Amino acid sequence: MGQSTNAMLMYGYHLGSDEGGWQIRGLGEYDELPALDWYDPEVEDGLDFQSAAEHKLLADIAGFTEEWAPGLDGYWDRHRAAEARVGVKLASHCSGDYPMYVLATKVITVYRGEVEAIDPARDLAVQPDWDDKLRAALDVLGLNPTQETACWFLCSYWG
What's the average model confidence in pLDDT over 113-123?
93
Which pLDDT band, with edges at 50, 70 and 90, does 2 fall under? low
In a domain, 62, yes or no: no
Read off the pLDDT of each residue in 47-68 and give the average, rounded to a whole number: 95
Domain count, the chain: 1
Residue 100 belongs to a domain = yes
Supply φ then ψ for residue 9, to 5 degrees: -115, 120
- Asked if residue 122 is part of any domain, the answer here is yes
User: CA torsion, points 104, 108, 109, 115, in degrees to nearest 10?
Assistant: -160
Q: Are 133 and 27 in contact (CB under 8 A)?
A: no
pLDDT band for 14, please (50, 70, 90 cuts). very high
Residue 79: inside a domain: no
Predicted local distance difference test score (pLDDT) of residue 5: 86
In the predicted structure, residue 70 carries a pLDDT above the cut 70: yes
Residue 141 · residue 59 · CB < 8 Å: no
pLDDT for res 106: 97
Structural domain span for residue 11: 5-44+89-158
State the amino acid at position 87 in one-letter form.
G
Summarize the confidence of residues 111-140 as an average pLDDT: 95
Residue 76 lies in a domain: no
Could you tell me if residue 147 is inside a domain? yes
- Percent of the chain predicted with pLDDT > 70: 98
SS3 49: helix
Residue 68 counted as domain residue: no
pTM assigned to the model: 0.92
In-domain check, residue 13: yes
What are the residue ranges of helices labelled H in 5-116? 49-62, 75-86
